[in-house]
């Protein structure tokens, strides 16, 4: 990739760095500014065309910028009717569609019947190009992907504040209500329909 081609990524990460700097008047990153920066990149169809072509319609992800520590960016696609596993990141996250409709559900822990990890849906929305979702721990339990009847499956940009697999995180199985801790290094299930370990 040439320097000119890489300019959109440099511009994004410069803006993310500025929005992540500590400020006396706020605590934590400026997620509104980070979401706006990601939206600008998501709207750059010329730059992203090669990345989308590289992933195509297959299920998976393509790392666009990876770091040992600090923000990282990935292009993600899930197939029709498939959602991610319900999970948290333990780091801030911003999600913006490049094309298609991304169904996004936010969950909250609501202990019931002796299950301290039971979850209830807090919000469901369809996210289309020009809109973004941002989440900050501990209010970052969610799943996302494609729900049948909600437009075409999306290609999305996922921007994480750090390498999430460096930390212990959580994952839930909607079919059984079970919960498990993802130990550092465990990326979890990509699709909620994959078998739940254990």
Query: In this structure, what CATH number is given to the domain that contains residue 94?
Result: 2.60.120.10
Domain assignment of residue 193, yes or no: no
- pLDDT tens for the 198 residues of the chain, in order: 444 558 999 999 999 999 987 665 557 899 999 999 999 999 999 999 999 999 999 999 999 998 878 899 999 999 999 999 999 999 999 999 999 999 999 999 999 988 999 999 999 999 999 999 999 999 999 999 999 999 999 999 999 999 999 999 999 999 999 999 999 999 999 999 999 997
Among residues 193, 65, 185, 88, the alpha carbon closest in space to that of 136 is found at 88
DSSP count for the chain of H helices, then E strands: 3, 11
User: Which tokens hold the place of 24?
Assistant: 């006396």
What integer pLDDT is reported at residue 23 of this predicted model?
62
Domain assignment of residue 196, yes or no: no
Chain CA centroid to CA 198, Å: 25
Domain assignment of residue 192, yes or no: no
What integer pLDDT is reported at residue 25 of this predicted model?
57
Domain assignment of residue 72, yes or no: yes
Pair 134, 19: CB distance under 8 Å:
no
- Give the span between the Cα atoms of 57 and 6, in whole angstroms: 24
Buried b (16+ CB within 10 A) or exposed e, 146-159: bbeebeebbbbbbb
How far from 99 is each of 53, 96, 102, 115, 128, CA to CA, in Å? Answer: 12, 9, 9, 38, 7
> Which letter does DSSP use for residue 18 in this model?
H
**Domain span at residue 27?**
3-182
Domain assignment of residue 46, yes or no: yes
What integer pLDDT is reported at residue 28 of this predicted model?
82
- Give the span between the Cα atoms of 23 and 50, in whole angstroms: 37
User: Which tokens hold the place of 156?
Assistant: 């999305």
Domain assignment of residue 195, yes or no: no
Domain count, the chain: 1
Domain assignment of residue 13, yes or no: yes
- Give the span between the Cα atoms of 7 and 11, in whole angstroms: 6
Domain assignment of residue 194, yes or no: no
What integer pLDDT is reported at residue 24 of this predicted model?
53
């Amino acid at each position: 990739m040439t320097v000119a081609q890489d300019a959109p990524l440099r511009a994004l990460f410069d803006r993310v760095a500025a929005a992540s700097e500590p400020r006396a008047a706020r605590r934590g990153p400026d997620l509104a500014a980070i979401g706006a920066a990601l939206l600008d990149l998501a709207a750059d169809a010329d730059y992203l065309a090669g990345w989308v072509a590289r992933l195509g319609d297959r299920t998976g992800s393509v790392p666009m910028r990876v770091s040992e520590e600090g923000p990282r960016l990935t292009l993600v696609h899930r197939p029709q009717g498939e959602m991610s596993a319900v999970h948290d990141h333990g780091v801030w996250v911003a999600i913006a569609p490049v094309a298609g409709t991304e169904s996004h559900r936010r969950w909250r822990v609501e202990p019931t019947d002796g299950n301290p990890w039971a979850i209830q849906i807090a919000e469901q929305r369809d996210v289309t190009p020009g809109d973004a979702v941002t989440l900050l721990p501990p209010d970052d339990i969610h799943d996302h992907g494609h729900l049948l009847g909600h437009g075409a499956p999306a290609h999305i940009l996922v921007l994480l504040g750090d390498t999430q697999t460096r930390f212990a995180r959580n994952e839930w199985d909607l079919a059984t209500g079970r919960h498990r801790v993802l130990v550092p290094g465990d990326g979890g299930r990509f699709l909620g329909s994959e078998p739940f370990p254990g």
